[in-house]
Structure 1
Amino acid sequence: MIKYPGGKKSYKKPDSFALTSRRGMSLEEDINKTNDYYLFMDIGVVHKKPTPIQIVNVDYPSRNKAKITEAYFRQASTTDYQGVYKSIALDFEAKETKNKTLFPLAALHQHQLDHLRAVNKHGAVAFLIIRFNTLDETYLIFAKDFLQYIDTSEQRSLPIKWIRDVGYLVESTFKKPCDYLSIIEDVCIKEKV
């Protein structure tokens, strides 16, 4: 316990687990923070796509306190993120699961799979980023791999063993809590040179 001048505030030193774990941080927050770093350092430009909604009703108690009270999705959204890295178009979906042994395919909508299949066919690097929250592991799986698995398997999930064999473990640092571009660099750029 550290006492501050005047005795008004105190600080309890956190344990080392709390310092290293991303508890409370969602995958989306980690990706957004990483994307901000990529943009600031001029590494790449990747943004979360807004979900298209149709506003139906707004409550205006006062001009500065307007609140949307009713809205609908205009259309099914495609994927979460799009961007560009070293002239490569990127398109990906980010998902989290509490399951320790598999990622349920029900978490992916058919229109998302169709979109990833289409952008992959047209040359973009399409992929999934999946975080297993209870394992504190995050993987990048390229669309070509998981789409082939879905097309040839009767499974309704991606087993963790398959993900670990085919996917790439995403490293986490303070500035880049979900450093997926290093995988894109290693797999899509360095392997082609």
Structure 2
Amino acid sequence: MQYPNGRRSSANSNKFTSKLTTYSNRGMTLEEDINETNQYYLAHNKAIVHKKPIPIQIVHVDYPKRSAAVIKEAYFKQASTTDYNGIFKGRHIDFEAKETKNKHSFPLNNIHQHQIDHMTQILEHDGICFLIIRFQARQETFFFPAEKLLIYWKDQFSDGRKSIRYETVKKEGYIIPVKYQAKVDYLDVIDKYYMKNGGRSNGR
């Protein structure tokens, strides 16, 4: 496995495959729910939202048989930004989806600086940017505006908390309703709190 600086990982191909599987399946329940929701939005012409592909450059592939291919060497071309983006009622929407087993808070180490930089740029261009946070133990999913996230992100470097309390997420975010066809109906939140005054509201 190679990274953008050109260094090759010492991990063998089996470990590489294992890591790909581990990271791709992390939070899969939430990801599947969002993907199904996005398919519903697309089928009913409500919005166009897609999951961003992981920017991996494949260098070497073995073909042990015609029906299978095994990646032997690859590297990340660049750091990924957020999980999803698209358009809804003329506004660009961009968001990251995270699950946590922590019942009482959302650890900020689930987010990275390059993602914060990307979110900041989206907000500067009047896009709608947010986190979808699922507390697994509570089976509750929240829409948490990036504007709020940026405040807590900066505070952690000034002796602030390294996490956002569940109570804070609940107070400053929005519970996402669970519906039969739209399992994570985040557009319902955007419609209520961001589409006022001709679609120029920035939430509360």
Q: TM-score range by the shorter chain?
A: 0.7 to 0.9
Displacement of 1:151 after TM fit?
2.6
User: What letter is aligned with 2:104?
Assistant: T
User: What letter is aligned with 2:164?
Assistant: L
Does 1:157 pair with 2:163? yes
Task: State the match for 2:147 in structure 1.
Answer: 144
Residue ranges of structure 1 left out of the alignment (5+ in a row): 1-23
Bigger Rg, structure 1 or 2 = 1
User: What letter is aligned with 1:99?
Assistant: N
Task: State the match for 2:189 in structure 1.
Answer: 183
Task: State the match for 1:58 in structure 2.
Answer: 61
Residue-by-residue CA offset, 1:96-136 (whole Å, 9 max, x unaligned): 00000000000101101111111111110000000000110
Between Structure 1 and Structure 2, how many residues are aligned? 170
Instruction: Calculate the aligned-residue CA RMSD, in Å.
Output: 1.6
Displacement of 1:174 after TM fit?
2.0
Task: State the match for 1:14 in structure 2.
Answer: none
**Among 72, 82, 92, which residue is 1:79 paired with?**
82
Task: State the match for 1:120 in structure 2.
Answer: 123
Q: SS in structure 2 opposite 1:58?
A: strand
- Separation in 1 of the partners of 2:193 and 2:65? 53
Task: State the match for 2:109 in structure 1.
Answer: 106
Q: SS in structure 2 opposite 1:119?
A: helix
Task: State the match for 1:167 in structure 2.
Answer: 173
User: What letter is aligned with 2:125?
Assistant: H
Displacement of 1:65 after TM fit?
1.5
Percent of aligned positions with the same letter in both sequences?
48
Task: State the match for 2:18 in structure 1.
Answer: none
Moved more, 56-65 or 40-49: 56-65
Normalized against structure 2, the TM-score is what? Answer: 0.79
Task: State the match for 2:5 in structure 1.
Answer: none
Does 1:42 pair with 2:45? yes
Task: State the match for 1:5 in structure 2.
Answer: none
Does 1:129 pair with 2:132? yes
Structure 1 stretches of 4+ with a deviation exceeding 6 A read none
User: What letter is aligned with 1:185?
Assistant: D
Residue-by-residue CA offset, 1:35-58 (whole Å, 9 max, x unaligned): 000000000000000000011221
- Separation in 1 of the partners of 2:181 and 2:103? 27
Normalized against structure 1, the TM-score is what? Answer: 0.83
Alpha carbons of structure 1 residues 52 and 25: separation in structure 2 relative to 1, 3 Å: closer
Displacement of 1:74 after TM fit?
1.0
